[in-house]
Amino acid sequence: MDFILEPWPWYVGGPLITLIMFFLYYFGKKFGISSNLESICAMGGAGKLHEFFAFDWKKNSWNLMFIVGTVIGGFIAFKFMTPDQAILLNPETVTDLADIGFQNAGAQYLPEELFGLDALLSLKGGAILVIAGILVGFGARYAGGCTSGHAITGLSNLELPSLIAVIGFFIGGLIMTWLILPLLF
């Protein structure tokens, strides 16, 4: 039982993700999370704004149920399966983060500096949250998929577009982490 409560290593997490992908295909579906954002827009009446969203989102209800499940799963893991909320980081990472203004790196899953109430209620913090969301949503649909659709499914299927997209994910992530984040904090 102790193993369940400890952080799971990569060689447990990675294969289990593939197992989830297997079951989605076994049940006649696919593995792709970001298309749910389109379904939610359609559900919310975005069909009035743009014809693209006039599709019948109910045909994607299986995928919406999947993300409802992820919310429940996140709650269960948080409440009952993670007695220690610390993330064990490389000391170098902790020092690097302290240098750019992130205190107590790894004390919890998320940094207060980005997700805390103070950040949420400040103009800069709120703007960062909205802009990050816009970049993720816009980029995922422009590229035709996110980490699940491109990095996992697409690469598993040896798709060239997915390889290009994943290279793009890394270019963007490296620019943000190395160049922009230090300027923001």
Partner 1 sequence: MKNIRFIILGILFGIILSKAEVISWYRIYEMFKFQSFHMYGIIGSAVVLGIILFSFFKKGTIKNYLGDKIEIEPKKKGFYRTIIGGIIFGLGWGLIGACPGPMFILLGRGVLSILIVIFGGLLGVLLYHIIKHKLPH
In the complex, minimum distance from the CB of residue 48 to partner 1, in angstroms, rounded to a whole number? 11
In the complex, minimum distance from the CB of residue 18 to partner 1, in angstroms, rounded to a whole number? 4
Q: Which of 1, 2, 48, 90 binds partner 1 (CB under 8 A)?
A: 90
For position 89 contacting partner 1 by CB under 8 A, the verdict is: yes
Helix, strand, coil percentages, rounded to 5, for the chain = 75, 0, 25
φ, ψ of residue 49 to 5 degrees: the values are -85, -40
Binders of partner 1 among 36-75, rule CB under 8 A?
Answer: 36-38, 40-41, 44, 46, 49-50, 52-53, 61-63, 65-75
Is 77 within 8 Å of 59 (Cβ atoms)? no
In the complex, minimum distance from the CB of residue 41 to partner 1, in angstroms, rounded to a whole number? 6
Binders of partner 1 among 14-33, rule CB under 8 A?
Answer: 14-18, 20-30, 33
**CA nearest neighbour of 17 among 148, 109, 157, 158:** 148
Binders of partner 1 among 119-138, rule CB under 8 A?
Answer: 119-120, 125-126, 128-138
Rounded alpha-carbon distances, angstroms, from residue 60 to 15, 31, 35, 37: 26, 12, 9, 11
**CA nearest neighbour of 116 among 40, 185, 176:** 185
Binders of partner 1 among 141-160, rule CB under 8 A?
Answer: 141-160
In the complex, minimum distance from the CB of residue 31 to partner 1, in angstroms, rounded to a whole number? 9
